[in-house]
Each structure stands twice: as C-alpha cells, then as structure tokens.
Structure 1
Amino acid sequence: MQSSDFNEKRKFIVKLGKMLHKFGTPAYRLEAHLQDVAKDLNIGASFAITPTVLTFVIWVPGEDNEYTHVARVMPGDLDLGSLSRADEVVDAVLKHQMTLQEATERLNTIAVMPNPYSRWATFFAYGAAGGAFAMLMRASWLDVAYATGLSLIVYLFVLWAEKSRRVTHMLEPLVAMSSALGATALAAYIDPRINIPIVVLSAIIVFIPGLALTLGFAETAARHLVSGTARIMDAVMILFKLYFGAFLGMALGERLFGKVDYVPTQAVEAWTAWLAVAILCGSLVIVFRARRKHISWGLMSGFIAYGASQLGGIYLDLALGAFVGAFAVGVYGNLFTRLMNAPASIVSLQGMIVLVPGSKTYIGLNSFISGEHMVPTDHIGQQTFLIFMSLVAGFIFANVALPPKKSL
C-alpha cells in the first residue's frame, strides 16, 4: 500500500473517530464501528476510547510501521443529526461513491454545521421537557405549569454558559440552585400548593444524568471497563452537583422567604402520561438535534418504551417492566437500522430516556441525605439498581433476538 493512500485512510479514521465521539457515541459502539471501517478499508487498527482520551493505533497489514494518535478530548454531547450525516459519509466511502479526501472535507463541514433548530425552538423544548416530566411524576397541573416556567429560565442559564467558560463549569449547581430559589419564592409569595422538590427536579430534568449512567453500565457490561467506570463516575458527580445546588437553593429560600407548609392538591389524570411521553420525546428531538425525517421514528420509540414497560410492569414487576421496555426499544432500533440504513441510536436513545431511572436516583439521594420522601416510593434504591440492570439486559437480549445491521 502506498504511503499516500495509507495516510488518507488513517486521517479519515482519526477524523471520524473524533467526530463520532463529539456527537456522544458510547465507547463500545465507537470502537466496534471504527474496527468495521478499518477492516473495509483494508488496514489494521486498534482503538482505546474513553470519555476524555482517544487512542488510535493504525498500521498496514504485513508491515512493521505503526501510526499512533492520542487525543485529549472533552466528553461529547448528543447530536443525533450530525451522527446520522457522518454515518452517511461512511456508507458513501465504503460504496466507493466518495473519495477519502471528499469524505474528510464533508466531515469538516458537518462539524461546523449550525443547530438545525432555532434558539426559540430550543427554548420552548426545554420548557416542554420540564412540564412533561412533571406530568409523568403525576404532579398537579399547577406544578406542571410552574415546572415549565422554571425550565424556560434554566435555558437562559444554558445560553449564558455558551458565552462564559466560568458559568459552564458551574452550570449544573447554578441551575439547580436557581430553580430551587424560584420554586421557594413562588411557594412563599404566590401559591403554597407548589410541590417544591418535584418542581425543582422537573425544571432540571434535562441535566439529570440517567442516560449517562445507563450508558456507563452498558459499557461496563460490554467489558469496556475504563470507559464505563469513567462515564459512571462523571454521571454521579453531575448528580451530586445538581443535588447540592437544589439543597442549597431550598435552604437559602427557606431562610429568605420563610418556610411554607405544602398544601396538597389533585394530581393530573393517569391518561396524561401518554401525552407527557409525546411532549417529552418531541422536545428531545430538538434538544438532541435529530433530523426531521427521523422525528416520527423517535416519537414512536418513546411510545413503545412506555407502553412495553407499563405492560411488563403489570404482569411482572416495575423493574422487570423496564427490561421489557428496553427489549422492545432495542428490537425497534435494530429494525429501524435495517429499514432506514441509519444508526439505531438515533431512535433508541429517546426510548431509553423514557425508561432510565435518573430521577429515581435523584429521589433516592434526597431520601438518603434528608430523610424526606419526595414521592411515596418504597425500596427506591433497590428499584433503581434493578431498573438499571434491566435496561442493560434488555438491550443485550434485543441484539441477540434481532442483530443490529450497524455497529453504531
């Protein structure tokens, strides 16, 4: 193999790996995908992917020379639209419809593409996500309204963080503290019927790292121990920062505005859970920058996840219901890959978010530290652990029942 040809291939693989990591691809999927690409390009390669360090070792089979590339990176954020476009570039290269140079230029273009959704759309998506989660928690309509309003304020802090590096480092405790202060002020001066802990949790639900925890356990189950452990610890620290911010905000609010006795009010009807799933998945389409042609598939994933988990919970148990939901979403995602020739994660992630017990982890942390119960739930620690394990097992079983067409 000529050196120029090898250089083009290894540049493309390094560029592809960095971009897929930037778009939030888990380590076990990213390594498998890069191995498939290297094999199709007829070069040898080995990869070690973690949330903060990427290591590439690439060589020509039968030759002694190796190329090693190590990059220090920050954990990626989910960008499903860019992930889909990058996958299309790989398909075009492997089908000889695009040269490696053209593919590298296309990847550079994808890397700087603006958000397909406006700031106003993202603003309302944050508010909708907070209100939808309050509905799923069977809060009152008043709590749903207040959670929506506070979620809109949270997005303003996200915009501020885009302009200031200092705010970025303290974003999680800052939004939690601000939401708690806002909720306690509303309860003291406007409406004592606010369920402050539920409203605060709903307002910051976009930051709750339930998905990251689940992906960390999935990576550990796939024997990617370094990456999985790092992702789990990162998610736990984010959870601690959020809880500390909320705890500090409620303490300051009680000191500034006085303690307010909660006045219980009627919860939303049970049927609203289906409406909440639709609103939540619709908002995630915008937050995760999914492409418009995949919107209906993503919404269906949320309905399948919720419906299958509820059905499984009736006949089995709440935790095993999560296994049924994860199995259904996994099969659906692999079917989507076969029909649309796109990564399964584009739709499965939205269903996974409906299932992940990130909120239960937060509630359990609150019960452990304060001794107070935000919702009447027994054995929440055991339930949370079982749900995490059920989700991981559900996706493993789904990949056995219907093997994925793509490694992403």
Structure 2
Amino acid sequence: MLAPMPTPMTDATYTERIAFVVDLARHLHAYGTTAQRMEGAIESVARRLALDCQPWSNPTGVILAFSDPLRPAGESDTTRVIRLGPGDTHLRKLCEADRIAEEVISGRMGVSAGRAALGNLDRPDSRRARAMQAVGFALASASVAGLLRLPWLDIATSGAIGFLIGLLALAAQSRPRLSEAFEALAGLLAGAVAILVSSVVGPLNLNTVIIASLIVLLPGMSLTLAANELTSRHLVSGTARFAGALMVIVTLTIGTAIALGVANAAGVTPQVRALRPQPEWVVWCALAVAAYAFAVLFRAHRRDYPRVMAAVIGGYLISRFSGEWLGPPAGVFLAALAATAAGNAYARWFNRPGALLRLPGIIILVPGSISLRGVISLVQSQDLGAGGAAAMAALNTLMALLAGLIFGNLLVSARRNL
C-alpha cells in the first residue's frame, strides 16, 4: 500500500504562514544571500504556502508585501519591514535554513515547528567555534602569503597578524563601538605589526604582507556579488553593496596609512624587499591550508569540509593553469564558470544549496587584494597614476568573474535559488 502524500502546509493560519516567511527571509539575509537569490527563494516558499509575496531586499534590510490569493484584492494586504545589518556567509546555517524550508513546504514539518527550528539557528556559536574563527584568520593569511611565494618570515608575520585580527573580530562582535571602527583598527594593526617586524626582526615584502594579513576582510566577494546584482537588475542592492565594499577598502587603507604615517613621524624606517623564493611544494601546501581555512571561515558543517575544500582547490587550479595557457582573465573566467555550473548542478542533484560549491570556488579569485594594493600605492605615492595598473587589473578580474557567473548559470540552470 502506498504511503499517503504529504499535504501542503496551508492549514496554518494566514498570520502563521507570514511569520514563517518573514523569519526565513531574516535568516537567509543574515547568512549572506544575494538579493536576487533570496527574493527568488522567498517567492518560491511563499507560493508553496499559498501566499502572494513581493519581496524587496537590500544589504541592510528586507521589505515583504503579502496578500492572500483566496481573498479579495486589498483585504488581506500586509507589509513587513525588517531592518538588518549586512549579512555574513555562514554555510552551515544556510544549509539548515534551506532544509527547514524544504521540510515545511513539503508538509513534513508544521509551520510553527519550522519557526521554532529557525529560532534555534539564532543561538550564538560555541566558544570552540569562535576560537576556530580566529585560527581561520591566521591560516588564511599565512596560506595566502605562501601562495604568493613569500619568504618564511613574511609567512609567519602574515599568520601572526591574521590571528590578532581574528581576535579583534571576536571582540568586535559584542562591542558596537569597536565594530564600527573594526576595519580601520585592523588596517592599523596590520600596518603597525608589519612595520615593527620589518624594522626589528628583518626585511619584509611590506605591502604584500599587509595585504595577506588582511585577506579575510577584503571585500572582493562583496564587489563580485554587487556586480552580479547589478547585472540582474537589482540596482539598489547592487549599488549599496558596491558602495559598502569600496568603503571597506578605504577604511582598511586609512588604518594602514595611519600606521605608516606614525612610523615615518617617529623615524622608524621599515626594511622592505621584493623577494619570492619559495619552491613549488610550498605553494601546494599553502593551497591545502587555504582550502581548510576558508572552510572554517565560511563556517561550513564538518561533513561539508571536503566539498568546500575541493571547490577552493578546483577554483585555484583552473584559474592558474588555464591562466598560464590563455591569460589571467581567461583563467578567472573559466574558474568562475566551472564553480557556478558545479554549484548549480550540485543543487539540482542533491537538493542542497549550490552556495556550498559556488562561493568557495570563487573566493580565491575575487579582486579585493588587487583593489587594496592599488589604493595603498595611491596613498603612499600621492599620485593617481600609481594605483592605475592595480585598478585596471581589479576591473579585469571583476569582469572575468562576472562573465563566469553569468555563463555558468546559462550552462547549468539553477533549479534552486540558493
């Protein structure tokens, strides 16, 4: 005898269904979902719950307009405005929110139980998880320095600064005033420690060490997502996200410039060198460490670490070797194309968010470090032409990434919005 099919969860009250969709939108926004994907996901869930919903998302809030299609027009109209801070990527909670939504719309979980399950996601991370975030900062900074073939002193300095910035990030989570100045303080810390080490211990590739130590904070992903939103005609969200990313770069540069200015006023002269002596095996070790670091920083579930790490490694390998053959922009384009197509295919076949592969696959390609290098060069030389080459390189990288995202979605269509 066949088991009965689950019934849609339309037996919940109109208010309860609205409350579930509002909670889901708030959580998806908090986990770094872009405007077009979040709006598509919310519309799909609302439709399955017998609601008409018109969502409008931007990086700092969501507006949801609801109505009941079974009642006369205008009789049941309800609008919810949710003021939120900029979201941050949290793959484990994103996957869990997606699973809860699937359970509710399939009838396997009630609407009230779904709201309770979403509420459980608001619990703060454990002390161990927060400590791992600080370790992730250190590993990411050190591994990026290794990928750039910097000397061992540079790698160690980048890792140490990254760990200190990770501790600063943890402190800023519970201190609003510290959070407002976090990027400037991080740039100041990175510049001060790098100058101190290069003056007392030994010469460094100074600017490159500073950039490697700040790699986690660089808004390259935000720049890429902003451009993607703009091409999707989400003009307000894309413009706001783009402006926010530029301000992060400027704020990081301000902190670094203060450190350089104070050192110059105090007569401290850092020893600077341009040396990249590491052999090939260091690059491969650094790539493995970077893949693990980004799995930690993206806060994926442990069972998803292999997938996230494989996506990071795959993105790097495709961009590197195809870039050597066809040129760097082509390498970035092909890597972004592969990451987007793989994420969409994974979502279609395994009924889980494609962000598990898509975001890690492009994280190592984003143009944030190039942008910061250009602004730092501009500030140091006070010459608009000094950062021109870096700005053009960042623009080329951004265009190649954007093209990869667009054509990746054409190559394998996204059955799921997330």
Conserved 8 A contact 2:136-2:294: yes
What SS does the aligned partner of 2:364 have?
A: helix
Pick aligned residue for 2:83 from 66, 72, 76: 72
Q: Does 1:170 align with 2:184?
A: no
Distance in 1, Cα, partners of 2:392 & 2:210: 24
Q: Does 1:348 align with 2:361?
A: no
Q: Does 1:380 align with 2:390?
A: yes
Cα shift at 1:264: 4.5
Distance in 1, Cα, partners of 2:249 & 2:300: 26
Pick aligned residue for 1:329 from 325, 328, 339: 339
Distance in 1, Cα, partners of 2:300 & 2:249: 26
Pick aligned residue for 1:20 from 14, 20, 28: 28
Distance in 2, Cα, partners of 1:266 & 1:321: 22
1:23-74 CA-to-partner distances (Å, cap 9, x unmatched) read 1111111001111111222221101100112100011115222111112111
Alignment of 1:6-405 (within 5 A): 6-62=14-70, 63-64=72-73, 65-115=76-126, 117-191=128-202, 193-256=203-266, 258-371=268-381, 379-405=389-415
Distance in 1, Cα, partners of 2:109 & 2:26: 20
Distance in 2, Cα, partners of 1:266 & 1:299: 26
In the superposition, relative to structure 1, how do residues 171 and 50 fare at CA in structure 2: closer, same or farther (>3 Å)?
A: same
What SS does the aligned partner of 2:13 have?
A: helix
In the superposition, relative to structure 1, how do residues 42 and 255 fare at CA in structure 2: closer, same or farther (>3 Å)?
A: same
Distance in 2, Cα, partners of 1:131 & 1:396: 32
Conserved 8 A contact 1:47-1:57: yes
1:87-134 CA-to-partner distances (Å, cap 9, x unmatched) read 000111122100111101110011225248533322221111110111
Conserved 8 A contact 2:316-2:335: yes
Conserved 8 A contact 1:116-1:289: no
Residues paired across the two proteins, number? 405
In the superposition, relative to structure 1, how do residues 389 and 92 fare at CA in structure 2: closer, same or farther (>3 Å)?
A: same
Cα shift at 1:159: 2.5
Quick one: which amino acid aligns to residue 172 of structure 2?
A
What SS does the aligned partner of 2:62 have?
A: strand
Cα shift at 1:158: 1.5
Cα shift at 1:137: 2.3
Distance in 2, Cα, partners of 1:113 & 1:151: 23
Cα shift at 1:203: 1.3
Distance in 2, Cα, partners of 1:328 & 1:271: 25
1:168-211 CA-to-partner distances (Å, cap 9, x unmatched) read 110101011011111111111121x2122111111111111111
What TM-score do the two structures reach when normalised by structure 2?
A: 0.92
Quick one: which amino acid aligns to residue 16 of structure 2?
E
More deviation, 394-403/3-12: 3-12
Conserved 8 A contact 1:309-1:325: yes
1:326-345 CA-to-partner distances (Å, cap 9, x unmatched) read 00111221222234321111
Cα shift at 1:6: 1.4
In the alignment, structure 2 segments of 5+ residues that lack a partner are 1-8
Distance in 2, Cα, partners of 1:179 & 1:135: 17
In the superposition, relative to structure 1, how do residues 119 and 207 fare at CA in structure 2: closer, same or farther (>3 Å)?
A: same
Conserved 8 A contact 2:211-2:369: yes
Instruction: Give the alignment's Cα RMSD to 1 decimal.
Output: 2.2
Distance in 2, Cα, partners of 1:244 & 1:176: 7
In the alignment, structure 1 segments of 5+ residues that lack a partner are none
